[in-house]
Amino acid sequence: MKSAATPRDHSARDHQEAGHRAPDDVWLGEVIACLEAGKAVRREFAEGGRLHIDRPLPFLCVFIAEAKQAVVAREITQSNASYLMAPDAAAAAAVIEAVGSALRQRLGAFFVLEYGELERDEAPAKDAPYLPLFTIEVTAGEDPAAEAAANAFLGSVSTIEGKFRTAHMDLLSPPPQDANGKALTAFPHISVRFAPIYREPGTRRIYPELRERLIANIFDAGLKALAAATQCATDTRVSTHRAFGRKTFVETVARTDRAIDEIASSFDFLLAVTPINADAAWAEFVSSRYEVGPRLLYRPLTLEVEAAKKKLFSISFEHLEDPLLYALYRQKQQELDLQLSMISARESRTFVEFGRALYGPVEAKLLDVATDILVQTQKRTGKPGQKPAADNVDCDYVRNRAQTMVSAYKRQYADFTASVELRDDIPAGLLVSRSQLLISRSTAMSRHRVEALLNHEIGVHLLTYFNGSAQGLRLFRSGLAGYEGMQEGLAVFAEYLSGGMTLGRLRLIAARVIACAAMLNGALFPETYRLLVDQHWFQPDDAFNIVLRIYRGGGLAKDAIYLRGLLQLLAHLAAGGSLEPFWMGKIAASHFAAMQELSLRGLLGAPAVRPIFLDDAHARARLDRARGGITPLDMVAE
């Protein structure tokens, strides 16, 4: 299955072998023929000119490249779904006239938004107590569409928080003109000019963060202006101005996506920091009478961290032509950098601090919730001692049930090609590594917990991997930055929907938060172990497994995210939120707006396959109950 995200803008691309020709009548005729056929256009022409229209739209964003230093105006312009980069005003006017006439005939209206930069910025005095305002000039004619666009643009810019500089806006009356005093176009239009505040005055040096903020804010204001002009001049109504964004990826996006995925796939972070000697470590810890933390052994690294980092930061995002994708890939780059730093710092105290940066601290509120869960459930578990008899099953049973579940998903979606593997080098339990489900040979669990745990691993982690793969960009299968918290919360919630959330499972999730907080506060392995056994009545081997996870690699702050993500998900559902976006790939709640925009632009498709457990009437009833507002304790099956 291929989603709407796979098309790219090569349908009418025309790179001439002998060089790009000027936009003459023949060139323009070919462009018009493409537009009349409803095809995308991406054509280069002489002196660095380019026309890009990914679908027929009632507007064209224009940049005239006579100002060589106006790099941000250029980037804002080419971020749009329909834009023209012209070497001079004469070439721009010719293309606008031809393209505008064709699109107005097809769509009933046509509008031009021209971007440029003012020659200079007013530099603040060195001893100024505050940063001065910076100028944005909007020039608009008296046409109603131009007035609507100008008002929408100014209204949007006025709401931007001025972290560095605040905009002073001037609305000018004369239409935009070229050097000869001739209007750029007779079509309704506005011109936007802004001060180059992203450059250090007097030099060519750029403030990167300010540049990114300026591009994102002015691009968004421009989309609002285009939406306002369109709705003023036509009967077209859009649910959001973001629907006017791109509906195709340029080839640079695909190359960037492959490059990021190649690095993300070159290592398995969790396997790299997970001990391979869990059983021997337990025996060693017991022999020390629980007084000395065990020696933990790890897989030898085949990854050259410095080489991977060099490759990671050699990836250029400058030509993505999409501010939203630019932000998503930059965030992923930063996350991969932290993971690589953690791997290189394995078994050192620095590892803990990198982990704190990646996963965050244990917030006081989260610690309070975890403590409350353990306190309220303590009397129902009894003091440590002999474990009650249970109907336990071994790794072979779990593997067979996992293979059955994978086959059921594969019948619904042929590309659900997950594999199930028994392993000796991971602690007891299950672990997903990309498209693989890994099961420890030492795994033993209660029979009635198996389906719930497989829904956690297969019905969430593997399902979102394959659904993300179907979206056309590999980023959605490897995961957007920060996705893990919500992903684990969703997976734990799947256990509840399956009727498999037990008191012991909830206590374990809460205990991970307690242990993680202790580790981050400097407690040693034996101290955290005794905290769980003596104060919270955990069985010795259960406490050891929890603490082993927390102290792997040198101290991993990851395990607090299960309860944190679950609380976020329950709050999301109680506020009327939907689960559907979570099945599209590996995302966090903070990505909802981005996913919505990409969906509106046609760059994301519906999930290729939905969780099987949602087909159960009991699961739907539990979901409805959660939408009414529940706590983690309410999820425990009676």
Q: What is the pLDDT of residues 98-122, one digit of tens each?
A: 999 999 999 999 999 999 999 888 7
Residues 6+ apart with CB under 8 A from 525: 293, 294, 547, 551
State the 10-residue block means of pLDDT for the chain, 638 residues long.
41 43 88 92 92 95 86 95 95 96 95 94 62 88 94 87 75 64 84 92 84 92 96 85 88 95 96 96 98 97 95 92 93 98 95 97 98 91 60 96 98 98 94 96 94 98 97 95 97 97 96 98 98 96 97 97 97 95 94 89 93 97 97 88
Of 580, 611, 608, residue with least CA distance to 596 = 580
Q: What is the pLDDT of residue 158?
A: 79
Terminal alpha carbon distance of the chain? 41
Structure tokens at 460: 């969430």
Tell me the domains of the chain and their CATH numbers: 25-244 (3.40.630), 268-302+345-635 (no CATH)
Q: Could you tell me if 63 and 78 are in contact, meaning their C-beta atoms sit under 8 angstroms apart?
A: yes
Of 121, 116, 108, 219, residue with least CA distance to 164 = 121
Q: What is the pLDDT of residue 409?
A: 98
Q: What is the pLDDT of residue 12?
A: 42
Q: Which 3 state secondary structure label does DSSP give 408? A: helix
Would you give the DSSP letter of residue 46?
T
DSSP 526-575: HHHHHIIIIIT---HHHHHHHHHHHHGGG--GGGGHHHHHHHHHHHHHHT
User: For 136-163, what is the HEC assignment?
Assistant: EEEEECCCHHHHHHHHHHHHHHHCCCCC
Of 429, 489, 494, residue with least CA distance to 456 = 494
Structure tokens at 373: 């869960």
Q: What is the pLDDT of residues 140-158, one digit of tens each?
A: 988 999 999 999 999 998 7
Q: Which 3 state secondary structure label does DSSP give 444? A: strand
CA atoms of 515 and 372, how far apart (whole Å): 14
Q: Which 3 state secondary structure label does DSSP give 236? A: coil
Sign of CA dihedral 203, 204, 209, 214: positive
CA atoms of 299 and 125, how far apart (whole Å): 57
